[in-house]
Amino acid sequence: MSAQAKIYSLFADKLFRVCLKYSKNYQDAQDTLQDSFLMIFKDIKKFKHKGSFEGWAKRVTVNVALQKFRDKSVLQFDAMEDSKFAEEDVFVDVDEKNISLDFLLSLIKELPPKYQVVFNLYVLDRYSHQEISELLKISTGTSKSNLFRARKLLQNKINNSKINSYENKHRQVIS
């Protein structure tokens, strides 16, 4: 097995997870994974052994995924964003066990791209606002406000889905 095939077999699943988070569908995620590996093999000499290879490969994958957003011109941030409530935590009143991962991922995909990207980067991939601002070439304030809006939208969607599921159950009981 060639060295490239070994790298692929070691990291493909992990990177495909990243791709799925940033892609609209399974097919897009496959394309992103493919492009990410091509980029990884092209730039592998740039890996300076500072930190893990997996971390570096994930960053490359995130960059490739973001580039796809940019190519589609859907990643446009407003210059002036309100960061008034940016630091505020957002809570939902749900039973964690009753919520599936697929449902949560579908909620993320329903977000506008700018909120989706910032939420993914900050919450799921643990980037700091500083890193996000450098990556997306926006201010930290914009990053914070986009994160806050993403959280609020997700909160509303979860609450709505809760109501809907209650209504559905209620209807089923009545019928």
Partner 1 sequence: MKINIDKLFRNKIKEFKVTTPYGVWSAVETKLKRRRMLRFFGVSFVSLMGFMFLFFQADKKSTADTTKKSTSKEYSKNKIETSIDNKDAVSEKFEKNQIKNNKKKVVNRNLSTNITKGKAIYVNKTTDVKNIQLAAKKVETTSFTSESKNNQHKKNKKIISGLPKKHPVKQEKSFGSKNDSLNSLALKKIDSSKVLNKNAVINEEKLVVTEKNRKWSITPIFGVFNSSRYSEISLALDNSFEDNSSVELPSISFGYKLAYEVSDKLSFQLGIVSKEVRFLTKDLFLTDITGFNSSNIVYNPGVLVRFSTSNINLSGDPGAQSVSLVQTIGYTEFPFEIRYAVYNKPKLKANFIVGLSFLFLEKNEIRSKTGLFSERIASVSNLLDSSLSYNFGLDIDYDLSKRFVFNAAIMLKKHFNTYSNYNNKTGPFVRGIHAGIGYKF
Binding site for partner 1 (CB under 8 A): 1-2, 4-5, 8-9, 12-13, 16-17, 20-21, 26, 30, 33-34, 37-38, 41-42, 89-96, 99-101, 104-105, 108, 123-124, 151, 154-155, 158
Q: How far is the CB of 96 from partner 1 (least distance, A)?
A: 6
The nearer residue to partner 1, 56 or 119, going by C-beta atoms, is: 119
When the beta carbons of 17 and 59 are compared against partner 1, the nearer one is 17
Q: Are 82 and 40 in contact (CB under 8 A)?
A: no
Rounded least distance, CB 41 to partner 1, Å: 6
Q: Which own/partner pairs from 31-36 qualify as long-range (CB within 8 Å, at least 24 positions apart)?
A: 31/68, 32/61, 32/64, 32/65, 32/68, 33/61, 35/64, 35/68, 36/60, 36/61, 36/64, 36/65
Name the token pair of 34: 């493919």
Query: Smaller CB distance to partner 1: residue 41 or 85?
Result: 41
How many CB atoms sit inside 10 A of residue 20's CB?
19
